[in-house]
Every structure is written in structure tokens, then in C-alpha cells.
Chain A
Amino acid sequence: MSPVGAITRKEIRSYFVSPIAYVVAAVFLLLIGLLSYLAVLSVSNRSLQMLRLQGNMPELNVNEMVFRPVFENMAVVMLLVVPILTMRLLAEEKKLKTMELLLTSPVTIADIVLGKFFAAFTIFAGMLALTASGALALVPFAEFRWTPILTAYLGTLLLGGLFLSAGLFASSLTENQIISIMLSFGFLLIIWLFGWAGQLFSDTVLGAILTYLSPIDHFLNMIKGLIETKDLVYFLAGITFSLFLTYRVIESQRWRS
């Protein structure tokens, strides 16, 4: 087994033993379920209203009216939930002094960083896959297009990857899990706010830069069913950059300690 594989397996196991995986998945699915239910409820209320007023059943765009708000809200839920998946990844190894084992084994720092990232990403992807049951449950009752839903899932996966890589970076900076999670919240909210700030200066170069740096627009494009290279590049570059920073932090801690 490759070193990355060994580390990934160990971390995934730890998610279920700890049992962070179950708790996070339960809270995440509950929130997504509630949000979806509210979205469906508001759409059906509105259509009933129109039926009463106009006497006919309007054409409803389920993609626009149900799925889009659910995915938008899912991003906000992820801001709160994803840092829980990454907070202990490196902080705890340092606290327990088990980092010493990893650093004196014939594995590279890149193996350690990637192994941890893949483990968190696997758990997140698993959680996300479970939300698909909601979409499947709507199939008998409504007509909708699958393509925008698939691109939205891809966008959510990439957004999750970005959040996880930022969280892993936060975890590399401290031995304390509470500090780790607070740093993650800080990083994620700051890049999120870039998007709002970008709107304020929307005609300026600064505004364009801030908007590009924030995941919001890239994510919204993918929810709409658009797959564009600039959005994909944004997410992949962001993930690579965070993982690279994590690598550098571990390397420099090795030199100092």
C-alpha cells in the first residue's frame, strides 16, 4: 500500500471511531433535509396560490425554484460544518506527538498532506452522496433536468475540497483543535466576504479581483449548470495552493522544533 493510501485509510477509520463522521453527517443531512423540505413547501404554496387566483396550474421550473436555493443554502451549511472535519487532522498529531512517527517514517510531507486531505474529502463526498436521495425522492412528483443538478454537485464537491484544504491548513498552524476550527471559520468567512466586497466595488479592478478570489460566483455558475474553465481552474488552484501552504508549514515546523 502506498504511504498516501495508508494515511488516508487510518484517517477515515479515525473519523468513524471518533465518531466525528456520524455526527457531522447526521447534522449536515438533517439541515439539508430541512432546507429542501422548506424549499419544496414554499414552491407548492406558491403554485397553489396561483391556481386559486388564475385558475390554472403554472409551469414550474423545479431546477430554478427548488434545487438552486437548496444548493445555495448548502454552501452556507458547509461553511459551518466542513471545518469540523479538518480541525483535528494535524493539530492532534502534533499534540499527541505522533507527528514524530510520521516525520521519522519513510514518507514525504506531501504524502502526509495528501493522505489527510483525501480522507477528509472522502468523508465529505460520502455525505454529499447521501443528499442525492432527496433529489431522487422528487423524481415521481416533478419534472426537472439532471444536467444542472450534476454540475451543481460537481461545484459543491469542489467548494467542499476548497474548504477542506483551507481547514487542513488551519490545522497545521496549531496544536489546539479549538484554535484550528476558529482559524478555519476565519479563512472561509473572509474569502466568502470577498464576494460581497467585490459587489460593492463592482466596476473597479479591485472589485473584479475580489470577486474572482471569492468562491461565490464560481459556485453559483456551476449551480446554474455552467461549466467553465475559469471556475474549475479557480477551485483546483485554490485547493493546490492551500495544500502547498500546509506542506510548507509542516516543513518549517520541522526545522524549528
Chain B
Amino acid sequence: MIDVKHLTKLYGTKTAIADVTFSVEKGEVLAFLGPNGAGKTTTMRILTGALPATSGTARVAGHDCFDQPMEVKRAIGYLPEVPPLYGEMTVNEYLTFVGRIKGVDPAQLPAALDRTLERLSLGDVRGRLIANLSRGYKQRVGLAQAIIHDPPVLVLDEPTSGLDPKQIIEIRELIKELAGSHTIILSTHILPEATAVARRVVIIHEGRIVAEDSQERLSARLRRSEKVSVMVKTPPTDVRERLQALPGVLSVHQDDPQTFLVEAELGHDLREDLGRFVVTSGWGLLELKPVSITLEDVFLRLTQEESDKGEGDRPIVEEVRS
């Protein structure tokens, strides 16, 4: 549905994205993950036909984004980083205008409008001025604008940025509902967001794709150790040394006074040995659970690998968490 090959974009002499290649199958939800300035918006604007690439090709729904912009624009619903809203219009007036310029058949427009308002639960505010809506409602109107012409592909640029936690959950739920009937690519700089809504993740950093895979496979590929978290009631003072002495254990970290994170070699399941050891030592086993690697670990590791190679000396971690 979306096919991007060797896409490069320079702003003057500054490289915004370099040799970006990825594809999205019909019905898939893909998260485009990267810190600010990674090149997410640039890639999306090229996909929507708003911005020509310097080199490379992008195809959406079988049409070339540069040679057939009209077909591509008809096939895409786009929510930019800043939702493109006219404050002086009511929700109804705005969506009617968008429907008209998106080429919705005038006879079908009232039905399309009702369907869109219904899907995004905007019925109650349809007569209100957009300027007077809350930030969360404005974002929903932005989403409504993207789906009014029922496009097969949705491109959503940081759809939850600037929202409060409750609104973020609402918008994520809406995106999950839309996932059934649309192919979706969404960008985010928030790691849990990618896991919450997308099955597949493309990680972009300083204009280059550093990883592209399903969330599980990415984790597997990057996993170098098995981790188990163990919580005990009365740990002795030399607990770390004694755990460390167990066969196969690589390292032991103390998370809080009673919780320890034990790392073992890959393929070595520690749980049985560890459980028996804690119980026979009489420390009082409270909890024992495997720690699965999160996308957060994946991301940190990938971007660290990247900077280990000498590219970019800024800490990415802080940007990601901000």
C-alpha cells in the first residue's frame, strides 16, 4: 500500500532524510518512531505529495507520489503535526469544506459527514465553533478531516502530541478503531505509543532508518541476555555476591531494597534455579518474574549502537523522554 525506496531529502545542503526505504502492507499499522528532528514529518509530507523528494521514489496505493500527486492525495487522509483547522468555522462547516476539496460527491457529502461525526463521537459539538473546542476535541476534528473522504491510507503525524493523558488514550482508541478499515502510518517520539497502537515499528534517527521489524522480532534480535526480577522478604547483606555466584549469572542489579534484577546468558532460563536457591536460603521469596525487553530497551540500544559508531554524540535518551 505504501512503498518507499531510497528516499532522500535535502533542505538546501542539510540532509533531512537519507536513503529511507520501507513498505507498509494493506491493513497494517506502522509506527514511525524517532526523536525530534529525526525526519518523520519530512517523510510523511513527501508521502502526502506536499513535498517533493530530492531523490528516491515513494508510491501510495499504486501511484507515484511525485508523478501522480492527485491520485495519491485522493488516496490519503493526512493529519499534520499541527491540525489544519479554521477556528472561525463550526465543525460542520469545516468538515463540509474539507469534503468538498477532497472531492467527495456532493450528493454523498451529508452522509459522509454524519458517518465521520459518528465515528469520532463529534455529534455533540458539530455546531460549535472550532476555536472554542478543547485541545482533545480539536485533535478529533483533525482526525475527522483525515477520514471524511474515506481514504484507504491514513498518515498521522504525532497524533497525540500536546494532549493530556486522558485525551491521549481516547485518540489511541480511535486510531485502533480506524485500523480495521485503513492502512495507517503514524509517527511518534514516544516509545510506549508505538507499542500501544502499532504491530510494526520503523525506527528513524538523524534521517536514517536504524531498525525496521515487528515489535517482537526487533526485541528478539536485540536481546543479548535473559533477565529475571526477584523480590525477597529478608535479603542478607551479601545477597548480590551470592546471587552472582550462581551458575550462568552475568550480573545482578539492585532495583530497590528488596528487588533484584538478575541477568543471565541468552538461552539460560534462571527461574527454576533462582527460585530454589532463594527458598532454600530462607530469604522469603515474594515474587519471581521474567523481564521482557521493551521497545524502550530496543530503542536505547539501537541508538546507542548508532552513536558508538561515532555518528551523533548527543544523548538521544533525554530527547525521547521529554
Interface centre among A3, A6, A9, A106 (most CB of B within 10 A): A106
The answer to the question of B106 belonging to the interface, with a C-beta cut-off of 8 Å to chain A, is: yes
Please give, as numbers and ranges, the residues of chain B lying within 8 Å of A6 by CB-CB distance: 97, 100-101
The residue on B at minimum CB distance from A256 is: B11
Are A106 and B50 within 8 A (Cβ)? no
CA distance A97 to B85 in the complex (A): 8
Given contacts A100-B84, A101-B84, A254-B51, contact A1 B100 (CB under 8 A): yes
B88 lies within 8 A of A14 (CB): yes
Closest Cβ of chain A: how far from B85's Cβ, in Å?
7
Chain B contact residue count (CB 8 A cutoff)? 27
Q: Which residues of A contact B78 (CB under 8 A)?
A: 100, 104
B145 neighbours in A (Cβ, 8 Å): 101
With A102-B101, A104-B76 known as contacts, the answer to whether A17 contacts B88 (CB < 8 A) is yes
Contact between A97 and B82, CB atoms less than 8 A apart:
yes
Cβ proximity bits A81-99 to B, threshold 8 Å, 1 near / 0 not = 0000000000000001111
Closest to A7 in B: B101
Q: Complex Cα distance A9/B86, Å?
A: 14
Measured between C-beta atoms, what is the minimum distance from A17 to chain B in Å?
5
Kindly list chain B residues whose C-beta atoms are within 8 Å of the C-beta of A18: 88
Which residues of chain A come closer than 8 Å to B84, judged between CB atoms?
Answer: 96-101
The answer to whether B101 touches A3, judged by C-beta atoms less than 8 angstroms apart, is yes
- A3 to chain B minimum Cβ distance, whole angstroms, is 6
CA distance A100 to B106 in the complex (A): 23
* Interface flag for B70 (CB, 8 Å): yes
A97: B residues at CB distance < 8 A = 80, 82, 84
Do the beta carbons of A100 and B70 come within 8 Å of each other? no
Residue of B nearest to A115 (CB): B101
In angstroms, Cα B113 to Cα A175, docked, is 31
Query: Complex Cα distance A255/B45, Å?
Result: 11
**SS class, residues of chain A in contact with chain B:** helix
Chain A residues near B86 (CB, 8 Å)? 10, 14, 96, 98
Bound together, the chains give a CA A127 to CA B144 distance in angstroms of 37
**Nearest residue, chain B, Cβ from A105:** B101
B70 cross-chain contacts in A, Cβ below 8 A: 106
Contact B50 A104 (CB under 8 A): yes
Cα distance A100–B86 in the bound complex, in angstroms: 12
Once the chains are docked, how many angstroms separate the CA of A179 from the CA of B315? 41
Separation in Å of the B147 CB from the closest CB of chain A?
Answer: 14
Chain A positions within 8 Å of B73 at CB level: 104-106
A107 within 8 A of partner (CB): yes
Whether, in the assembled complex, A133 has its beta carbon less than 8 Å from a beta carbon of chain B, the answer is no
B303 contacts A by Cβ under 8 Å = no
The reply to whether A106 and B74 contact each other, CB–CB distance below 8 Å, is yes
B52 touches A10 (CB 8 A): no
- Does B98 lie at the interface of the complex (its beta carbon under 8 Å from any beta carbon of A)? yes
Instruction: Digitize B62-103: 1 where CB-to-A-CB distance is under 8 Å, 0 elsewhere.
Output: 000000001001101010101011111000010001101111
Chain B nearest CB from A233 CB (Å) reads 33
- Minimum CB distance partner of B81 in chain A: A97
How far in angstroms is the closest Cβ of chain B from A1? Answer: 5
Chain A residues within 8 Å of B87, by CB: 96
Report the minimal beta-carbon distance from B186 to chain A, rounded to whole angstroms.
16
Highest count of chain B CB atoms <10 Å: which of A9, A10, A99? A10
**CB-CB < 8 A to A3: which residues of B?**
100-101, 103
> Taking A96-B84, A97-B84, A101-B84 as contacts, is the C-beta distance between A107 and B101 under 8 angstroms?
yes
CA distance A88 to B88 in the complex (A): 14
Q: Of all chain B residues, which has the CB nearest A2?
A: B100
Contacts of A98 on B, CB cut-off 8 Å?
Answer: 84-86
Give Cα A103–Cα B48 distance, bound, in whole angstroms: 9
| Measured CA separation A250–B100 after assembly (Å) | 21
B39 at the A/B interface (Cβ < 8 Å)? Answer: no
Q: How far is the CB of A6 from chain B (nearest CB, A)?
A: 4
Q: Is the CB of A106 within 8 A of B102?
A: yes
| Contact indicator A100/B80 (Cβ below 8 Å) | yes
Whether, in the assembled complex, A257 has its beta carbon less than 8 Å from a beta carbon of chain B, the answer is yes
Residue of A nearest to B101 (CB): A105
Whether, in the assembled complex, B159 has its beta carbon less than 8 Å from a beta carbon of chain A, the answer is: no
A254 to B103, CA, bound (A): 22
Interface string of B189-230 (1 = CB under 8 A from A): 000000000000000000000000000000000000000000
Which among B11, B74, B80, B87 has the highest number of chain A CB atoms within 10 Å? B80
Chain A residues 1-44 with CB under 8 Å of chain B are: 1, 3, 5-7, 9-10, 13-14, 17-18
Interface residues of B in 97-121 (CB under 8 A from A): 97-98, 100-103, 106
Who on chain B is nearest to A98 by CB? B84
A-contact 0/1 string along B218-249, CB 8 Å cutoff: 00000000000000000000000000000000
Could you say which residues of chain B place their CB within 8 Å of the CB of A100?
A: 50, 78, 80, 82, 84
Instruction: Tell me the nearest residue of chain A to B73, going by C-beta.
Output: A106
Given contacts A104-B50, A104-B76, A107-B101, 5 further A-B contacts (CB under 8 A): A1-B100, A6-B100, A6-B101, A10-B86, A100-B78
| 22 pairs, A vs B, C-beta closer than 8 Å | A3-B100, A5-B100, A7-B101, A13-B93, A14-B88, A17-B88, A98-B85, A100-B78, A100-B84, A101-B98, A101-B101, A101-B145, A103-B50, A104-B49, A104-B73, A104-B78, A105-B73, A105-B102, A106-B70, A106-B103, A254-B50, A256-B11
The 4 closest A-B pairs by CB, nearest first: A101-B84, A6-B100, A98-B84, A106-B73
